[in-house]
Chains A and B, each alone.
Chain A
Amino acid sequence: MIATLMALLAFADNVSFTASAPTAVANGQSFQLVYTVNASAKDLRVPAFNPFEVIAGPFTSQSHSVQFVNGKSLSETTIRYTYTLLPTKEGSFNIPSASIVVDKERYQSNSLTIKVLPADKAADSSSNTSQEQRGKVSISQQITDDNLFIRPIISRTKVREQEHIVLTYKIYSRVDLIDIQQVKFPDLKGFFVQEVDLPQNKQYALENYEGKNYNTIVLRQYLLYPQRPGTLEVEKLTCNAVVRVRNQAQVRSIFDDFFDTYQEVKKSLSTPAVKVSVSALPMPKPASFSGGVGSFAVKSKVNASELKANEAVTITVTISGNGNMKMVQNPEIKFPTDFETYEPKVTNSFTNTTSGVSGTKTIEYLAIPRHAGDYEIPETEFSYFDVSSQSYKTIILPAYHIKVGKGSENQGAAVSNFTNQEQVRMLASDIRYIDISDFELAELEESWIGTWKFWLAYLVPFFIALLALLFFRKQARENADLALMRNKKASSVARKRLKVAEKHLKADAKKEFYDELLKALWGYLCDKLGLPLAELTKENVATQLAACGVDLTDIEKFIRLLDDCEFVRYAPSNDDRATMDHIFKQTLDMIAKLEETIKR
């Protein structure tokens, strides 16, 4: 049995050898330093515990446990070497590592740093001998504001907008604190709040505050990012603390000292409000300002620079660093307008620590080119406010050249029924460009309206026209006057001739009468139609009259009248007088009718 145990131990290769001690102790108060090894070991060599004084130890304690799980046995051996040390000086001291031999091999322990706080003044003055030596803090029985309070600790009170502040709520206790209940955390208005993850099992830490040593515990820790400039207030926090107090009975029995009775007492605690003055980020902000404040590094990469139409191209931008990561806006990548773009996919992996939110933000921009061609994705700027240098910094992401080939045939066939025409899209409007032609400059031309030159421009042509009129007035008269006058006088001339004809009629001069009548008719036509006598024939007359809008029946009558006149003139007739009267009357009617129809 023992042999097997020994064999198992030999195989236990994960030997751990650790040193443990409180991180802070008060001066003049002893504490324990424990070396723990999980195997049987020998030859412990410890360093010099300067400036601590060994007042007891080493005490060795050994524990042994054997477990049987599913028929297998597991054994554990733990050896603890305990030293009781007394600090003699204040300050922070290092205890170097110790060493031990397990199975002929030497293992090193961790080194420790112990902070020695000044001695408790209150404890000194009271010289209370009943204080517990094993505890670090003298447990007071009185629950006063000095013995139990909560403090908001703020890392900075003057910050830039978006720069992180650490807010820690720490409980300071010199009493036997059991529990904290009904915690009402403040409403942190004007801040973007991130909670810092604290270890699961909270442990007391010793801290010297205003001359007294307290057991402290962190209640909660926040990272605050102020969202607007000005004075922001962190409101007060309230909670109830449960404290165990020993009953101080009036009547003390002999057993009281052995069997103390305790009572749980509640005390309400609250913190003062804290003010933070936030200054705005300096102006002017760069155009590409992302809202990031802190320190960042940005990288980008593209998945392919040569692809086919309808295949996706992805640009991945990685922002890593420390600052207000969650408030950083995605840099805007300007894909060519012909690309179909989608909402970028954002992956965050952040951790909240007291030095701010740090981690990486990965943004994937997906775009699909729909047409073949060479495209250029321009440089993208990412600007942030660098806290350490208190200035804006701009990171330029490189430009990408993307060559898009023709898409595969299948996809082309699917849309072959449609035409690929698109309306020309107006993307923006702007003023037109300046005139870049070689235009001439000139003095402001003077107005010539109303000057003598202007009026001369009218008068000169007018006089020229007048001269022309005078010079050619004969021609004008021939053209205008004769034609017009003949037209106007046509009927009066005809009338005169008719009067002569009437004389001949009365005188019974048949031949003269018809001659005169024919002259009157032809002459009237000449004058009225503006044609020379030689050009007149009966056919001619018919067309001319028709053109002037005379009825066909009237034209016929007119032609017949002419025929009659000519015929009767040379033909002997028995009833001369009656015929002559008839024709004369007809002629008068005809001329009257024509005069009415042909109004010139």
Chain B
Amino acid sequence: MKRIIKLVVVILLTVVGSTKADNQLQKAADLYAAQLYEEAAEVYAHILETNKISPELYYNYANACYKSGQLGKAVLNYERALALRPNYEDAKFNLAFVNTQIVDKIELIDTFFLTQWFQSLGKLYTANQWGVISVISFVVALMLALLYVFASHRSWRKVGFFSGLVFLVISFVALSYSFSQQRKSEERAEAIVMVGSMSVKSAPDDSGTELFVLHEGTKVVIKSSLSDWLEIRIADGHVGWVKTSQIERI
């Protein structure tokens, strides 16, 4: 009986759904609401093929993937949503939740807390957002410099001088973050394991020694590539080679 209802829903939705992306989105949301997660995921994937994107779209797609049991795709798409909007609260929450479900638990290397702060601060905004922050704080710094120059009162001049200096520093920091984020998104060095389990080899060769095994959903960093092999590093610092088809870049 349930199956029949599901089938009817699918048919109705396909009939109603038109080619427009908005309708497609609505259709996917309806399928999701009807707990037809696989079908919803298919629709989202179809929308993504049109190269129109948004963080919400990736987020919804990831939800549908998770609900239909595709952990790897779910993690990948949460990461993509977060790459577009780093402070996407729901995506962060769901990614953290899904990360508790993946098989591999990797001990992070202890890094100095200031380094960690600097790194996590950089991940707060995208390259463009950091660029805007940099430009704005540069302009503010200029205005404060003018205040310093033109202010008649001694205290105003003081304010202008020091806060101007602070904003100039902020501008430079934001600029450097902007460039580092830019480099990160151009490199696309981070990737997610897409296969159920894969063995990581010591050499870019099938006969290489099997170093360790990673499971679906684990995040790796790509260091280099050789034909169809990629050298990866995992969070605890271990390095090895895997086939290109086994992982997908964020």
Contacts and interface: CB of A to CB of B under 8 A. Distances in A.
Contacts of B70: none
A68 B127 CA distance: 117
B202 to A, nearest CB: 36
Interface in A398-450: 429-445, 447-450
B64 A469 contact: no
Interface stretch (A29-37, A456-464, A491-499): A456-464
Nearest to B136: A457
A448 B131 contact: yes
B21 interface: yes
A327 interface: no
A475 interface: yes
Interface residues of B, number: 45
Contacts of A462: 138, 142
Interface stretch (B9-17, B93-101, B115-123): B93-101
A480 interface: yes
A441 B142 CA distance: 37
B127 A447 contact: yes
A469 B51 contact: no
A468 B146 contact: yes
A434 B63 contact: yes
Contacts of B138: 458, 461-462
A579 B22 CA distance: 99
A454 to B, nearest CB: 6
B127 A449 contact: yes
B29 A443 contact: no
Contacts of B64: 434
A530 B153 CA distance: 10
Instruction: Tell me which of A435, A437, A472 has the highest count of chain B C-beta atoms within 10 A of its own C-beta.
Output: A435
A188 interface: no
A450 B180 CA distance: 12
A441 B21 contact: yes
A337 interface: no
A450 B53 contact: no
A434 B62 CA distance: 9
A450 B175 CA distance: 10
Contact of A469 (B32, B131, B146, B186): B146
Residues of B contacting A: mostly? helix
Contacts of B135: 454, 457-458
B105 to A, nearest CB: 18
Contact of A431 (B21, B94, B131, B179): B94
Given A432-B94, A448-B128, A465 B142 contact: yes
Contacts of B151: 479
A434 B54 contact: no
A440 B62 CA distance: 18
A430 B97 CA distance: 7
A450 B128 contact: no
Contacts of B22: 438
A444 B53 contact: yes
Residues of A contacting B: mostly? loop
Contacts of A445: 128
A239 to B, nearest CB: 56
A443 B50 CA distance: 9
Contacts of B47: 441
B29 A449 contact: no
B216 to A, nearest CB: 16
B23 to A, nearest CB: 12
A5 interface: no
Contact of B29 (A431, A434, A448, A479): A434
Contacts of B32: 434
A530 B154 contact: yes
Contacts of B149: 469, 476, 479-480
Nearest to B138: A458
B162 interface: no
A465 B145 contact: yes
A449 B181 CA distance: 10
B52 A443 contact: yes
Nearest to B132: A457
Interface string A472-496: 1001100110000000000000000
B76 interface: no
B56 A435 contact: yes
A435 B90 contact: yes
Given A472-B150, A479-B152, A434 B97 contact: no
B82 to A, nearest CB: 14
Contact of B54 (A441, A447, A472, A480): A441
B57 interface: yes
A60 B247 CA distance: 100
Contacts of B53: 441-444
A75 to B, nearest CB: 72
B66 interface: yes
B15 to A, nearest CB: 22
Given A431-B66, A442-B54, A479 B150 contact: yes
Interface in B179-236: 179, 182, 185-186
Interface in B77-121: 90, 93-94, 97-98
Contacts of B57: 439, 441
Contacts of B21: 441
Given A434-B59, A434-B63, A449-B179, A441 B52 contact: yes
A433 B128 contact: no
A310 to B, nearest CB: 37
Given A434-B63, A436-B29, A476-B150, A443 B51 contact: yes
30 contacts: A431-B66, A431-B67, A431-B98, A432-B63, A432-B93, A433-B63, A434-B59, A434-B60, A436-B29, A440-B54, A441-B47, A441-B52, A441-B54, A441-B57, A443-B51, A443-B53, A444-B51, A444-B53, A445-B128, A447-B186, A448-B131, A450-B179, A454-B135, A457-B135, A461-B139, A464-B142, A479-B149, A479-B150, A480-B157, A530-B154
Q: Which 8 A-B pairs have the closest CB atoms?
A: A441-B52, A439-B56, A434-B60, A435-B56, A431-B94, A457-B135, A465-B142, A461-B139
Given A439-B56, A475-B150, 4 more contacts: A432-B63, A441-B47, A442-B52, A479-B152
